[in-house]
Chains A and B, each alone.
Chain A
Amino acid sequence: MGMFDPLKGFGVTFATMFKKVVTEQYPEDFYPSAPRWHGRHQLNRHPDGLEKCVGCELCAWACPADAIFVEGADNTEEERYSPGERYGFDYQINYLRCIGCGLCIEACPTRSLTMVNFYELADDDRRKLIYTKEDLMAPLLPGMEEPPHPMRLGENEQDYYVQGPELARGRGVPEGETVETSKEEAIQ
């Protein structure tokens, strides 16, 4: 060991003082994640506010960690939550089990289930980490209406699915903003 070696060490410290700070001051400073980060799940809506989830349980079936529980139920003309016959009556994701793999997203046949960037999934109570439908539903954008309500867009199912987004703009849903990509602020 040379006699200047201890000073070399201080040299590193000294030099670092003039470099850019990489430490993130979480949680005081909140940095957005990368845009395609797999964070919390979200259950999306059709442009009129009806739920996209049909309660098919394919997400639950695909889940390797058995973190999802779904139970379907019957839409009626009086009480409609989603277009079509069936809707997700009960929807729960257990974030103590979820490994964030995203297989559920791939399984979803209606693109109802997607993942948003939100990553603060920690708590001091196990029960609070079982997210239910209320926690997971996408927020209502302007022009949307909280179900149950009838299908609002177009005269028939063909209109609803094909022309839906266009018709929705007439109701005040902002352009370019599909529900699945709604901004972080909206979620919070």
Chain B
Amino acid sequence: MTIAPENTETEVPEGHVKLVVDGEEVIAPEGELLIRTAERLGTVIPRFCDHPLLDPAGACRQCLVEVEMNGRPMPKPQASCTMTVADGMVVKTQKSSRVAEKAQEGVMELLLINHPLDCPICDKGGECPLQNQAMAHGRSTSRFVDTKRTFPKPISISTQVLLDRERCVLCQRCTRFSDQIAGDPFIDLLERGVHQQIGTAETADIHNSASHTSSGTPFQSYFSGNTIQICPVGALTSAAYRFRSRPFDLVSSPSVCEHCSSGCALRTDFRRGKVMRRLAGDDPDVNEEWSCDKGRFAFRYAAAKDRIRKPMVRDESGELVEASWTEALRRAADALVAARESNGAGVLTGGRLTVEDAYAYTKFARITLRSNDIDFRARPHSAEELDFLASSVVGTTPEHVSYASLEKASAVLCVAFEPEDESPIVFLRLRKAARDKGTKVFHIGQWTTSSVRKTFGELLACEPGGEAAAVDGIAEHAKDLDAALSSDDAVVLVGDRAAEVPGLFGAVTRLAERTGTRVAWVPRRAGERGALEAGAVPTLLPGGAPVSDASARATLETSWGLDSGTMPAEPGRDTAAMLAAAASGELDALVVGGVDPDDLPDPAAAREALANVGFVLSLEMRPSAVTEHADVVLPIAPVDEKTGTFLDWEGRVRPFSITLEGTGALPDCRVLDTLAVEMDADLFTQTAQAAWSDFSRSRVVSAHQGSNPDQHSRPAASTPDTPDGTVRLATWRQLIDNGSLQVEEPHLAGTARDAVLRMSAATAERHGVTRGERATISTERGALTLPVEFTDLPDDVVWAPARSPESIRSVLGAGHGASVALSGGAR
């Protein structure tokens, strides 16, 4: 009898190969790098240059392994980070091969030859891949007895990144990140041989013939902080975090970025009750492993000296003085009850709230103030926008449009949206999609911005204010785009600047209906999407049902435990209307949570309203233009000191828990809950958890999703003529400007883009402006003078940053699409 040998051959699936790693048979997808295959088996091959999100480079040579192909060993050890798997390959890592082990030890010894013994004073010490891997895979002694090569100690390659060239192992992670991911190749490998070093045009030893000094552009990238994080040695360090602490002092807590609607996962590291630094968290669905510099570096506002820590009330002499919670709440409650019984009170919430806090404001307005006068939009807004939000945005989840769908999209159209400045992670994902997957990115804007260039995009230039006409004209004038948008996976991204363009939301809706493309709204602030969902708008209830829907109101009354018919049925006023009403005495009180009047459509009118209204309750962290007029100021907690949830632009839930415990700072939801109790109402939002569960229970999703934006659509016809001598203004905020959450960050501020006035050469000539000099834009309200730069803007259009440094709205009283006078020189 013969026994047939058992068939132990494992099936190799399609698109996979079979190889042997350290004597173990393994099936790997074609194209996988050896280093990853080994990792899947639990073998960590030491490496420096390899990074899963960067293209392979094979620069550091640390990951050498022995490879055998078709029974023939390769003559030399191979870099496993650049070699892909192949069928029949036999790989021996340091685990099973003395050759590989020795090669790795040799490379490590070489890398350490010129590496200084800085570990005790190096910011990377304790979390350093070089340190760790030298311990794990290095020789225990060095045979090098000569003098190490030295460079002058750290040079700053930007105000926030310091470079210590002695420590560098030339892995090129930083240059590859800047080139591939961020698209800002402002650092590169300079010199050659033993002098090879990382540097910028500024640090390169190249002389300026005029000044006889080195000059050139520093590392001015919005994403430069990531290079610090991925540097596997201490060569790139943060100027702000320099020598602040050692990794083993730090307590790390996962957090979510509060700066924009990208919703980045972060890691907040603190020591003795003080946040020391923030790093990008790893969330493949959202920010991958990156974050922008604003999210990484702008956190000191919470520790600012002028932080409001105690309630304040205005005394008889008109001064704000510290008061007890009891007294402050009593004063606020009395005034708000009086206002409610008289003309009413309005709620302005700003765009920085967590969902829980926004929900507490919603309940506070509806239950305690018995009014729908609540609006989160502390920026230019329109009724049309509200309709669009109600019909197309509220209730959407990442299943509608997500980061993943941007990556998969064949075409993405950005309308009135500047990704790099307004949502940097969306920008990174668009760049990745365009670079790796060939996604076509189109931008409807005014000039070839860095976002357009770095997403390999195509600009459909239009006048500011003419975006609606441009969208409507796609079918006729941009047939390729029209065809691209008609495919299943195309996406349209609309920025919050769209609210300033009459008819744009209507045009976008029409486009979506015609082509079937999906539309997503990317607001600039972190809290806007959540506030919308929580019902912090005059026309919608939590969950998105319209206020005017009686059955939705009834449902909500039941879940909120209110008497039937007590919910106000009339849609409320929006931000501008509330401010107008407050100024004219139609509202008696305003509850303001973190609004900067300079961001509002008309800052002057807003200040006037705040000054004129009978009572202002301000919930604030730091003194602002609102606290100047406030009668009662209640301190609230920054994100580090509270638990909460943001909704990012996708509608993805981004919960985070408290980082610094026991500071005594209270979140808005708790403060409002207590205030409501003073006014004999229960909000059930004592804690973020309570608020969230109440919110999840109470959201009323309406069957019909709002009304068509066309209802309030203003004519999208041709933009009005500009009077003689005037030009049309295009403007938006740059990522790093003088926003209130960026205070006390001089290092970050140093990497802000220059504030310049952009115009075409023809426009300049027509208005007597010379390149390189200063020019002034003005209205009756005021004038703004900035240096001029020539850009491919349409004729008679100028672009200026909205808050760098001054708020263009405060100075000129004008926004995107307005007519302004242009003249050369300073005024």
Contacts and interface: CB of A to CB of B under 8 A. Distances in A.
B248 A84 contact: no
Interface string A64-79: 0000000111100000
Contacts of B300: none
A60 B744 CA distance: 30
B151 interface: no
A73 B243 contact: yes
B154 A57 contact: no
Given A56-B120, A72-B121, A85 B245 contact: no
A72 B244 CA distance: 6
Given A57-B246, A73-B243, A85 B120 contact: no
B698 to A, nearest CB: 47
Contact of B242 (A54, A58, A61, A74): A74
B248 A72 contact: no
Interface residues of A, number: 17
A100 B529 CA distance: 57
Given A71-B244, A74-B243, A86-B243, A54 B154 contact: no
B324 to A, nearest CB: 30
A85 B153 contact: yes
A49 interface: no
Contacts of B125: 56
Nearest to B272: A69
B249 interface: yes
A143 interface: no
A57 B249 contact: yes
A58 B120 contact: yes
Interface string A41-63: 00000000000001111101100
A54 B244 contact: no
A58 B125 CA distance: 10
Given A54-B121, A56-B120, A61 B246 contact: yes
Which among A56, A73, A74 has the highest number of chain B CB atoms within 10 Å?
A: A56
A100 B153 CA distance: 36
A74 B121 CA distance: 10
A54 to B, nearest CB: 5
A157 B244 CA distance: 25
Identify the interface centre among A54, A57, A61: most chain B CB within 10 Å of its CB.
A57
A11 interface: no
Contacts of A172: none
Given A85-B153, A86-B121, A55 B248 contact: no
B283 to A, nearest CB: 31
A109 interface: yes
A61 B248 contact: yes
A86 B244 CA distance: 10
Contact of A72 (B126, B153, B154, B243): B243
B443 to A, nearest CB: 43
Contact of A56 (B121, B153, B242): B121
Interface string B370-403: 0000000000000000000000000000000000
Nearest to A157: B150
A57 B247 CA distance: 10
A54 B117 CA distance: 13
A71 B120 contact: no
Contacts, number: 35
B120 A109 contact: yes
Interface string B120-150: 1100011000000000000000000000000
Nearest to A54: B121
Contacts of B126: 61
Contacts of A72: 121, 243-244
A75 to B, nearest CB: 9
A150 B316 CA distance: 56
B244 A85 contact: no
Nearest to A89: B243
Contacts of A109: 120
Given A85-B153, A85-B154, A55 B121 contact: yes
B589 to A, nearest CB: 47
Contacts of B153: 85
Contacts of B121: 54-56, 72, 84-86
A73 B239 CA distance: 11
Contacts of A58: 120
Contacts of B243: 55, 72-74, 85-86, 89
Interface in B232-278: 242-246, 248-249
Q: Which of A60, A86, A89, A109 has the most CB of B within 10 A?
A: A86
A166 B212 CA distance: 41
A50 B248 CA distance: 27
A55 B154 CA distance: 18
A54 B120 contact: yes
Nearest to A75: B243
Contacts of A86: 121, 243
B269 to A, nearest CB: 14
A124 to B, nearest CB: 27
B167 to A, nearest CB: 12
Contacts of B242: 74
A132 to B, nearest CB: 15
Contacts of A73: 243
Contacts of B249: 57, 60
Contacts of A89: 243
B366 to A, nearest CB: 49
A60 B248 CA distance: 10
A71 B245 CA distance: 6
A58 B246 CA distance: 9
A54 B244 CA distance: 13
Which of the listed residues A71, A73, A84, A109 has the most CB atoms from chain B within 10 Å of its own CB?
A71
B746 to A, nearest CB: 14
A97 to B, nearest CB: 16
Nearest to B164: A85
A35 B245 CA distance: 35
Nearest to B271: A71
A61 B250 CA distance: 12
A84 B121 CA distance: 9
Contacts of B246: 56-57, 61
A71 B249 CA distance: 10
B747 to A, nearest CB: 13
A34 B671 CA distance: 63
B550 to A, nearest CB: 62
Contacts of B154: 85
Nearest to A158: B147
Nearest to B126: A61
Contacts of A61: 126, 246, 248
A73 B248 CA distance: 17
A60 B250 CA distance: 13
Contacts of B244: 71-72
B156 to A, nearest CB: 12
Nearest to B246: A57
Contacts of B248: 57, 61
Nearest to A109: B120
A72 B121 CA distance: 9
A46 to B, nearest CB: 16
A99 B683 CA distance: 53
A35 B125 CA distance: 35
Contacts of A54: 120-121
Interface string A86-118: 100100000000000000000001100000000
B39 to A, nearest CB: 30
Nearest 5 CB-CB pairings of A with B: A56-B120, A72-B243, A86-B121, A109-B120, A57-B246
Given A54-B121, A61-B126, A110-B120, 19 more contacts: A54-B120, A55-B243, A56-B120, A56-B121, A57-B245, A57-B246, A57-B248, A57-B249, A60-B249, A61-B246, A61-B248, A71-B244, A71-B245, A72-B121, A72-B243, A73-B243, A85-B153, A86-B121, A109-B120
Interface of A: 54-58, 60-61, 71-74, 84-86, 89, 109-110
11 contacts: A54-B120, A54-B121, A55-B121, A57-B246, A57-B248, A60-B249, A61-B246, A71-B245, A72-B121, A73-B243, A86-B121
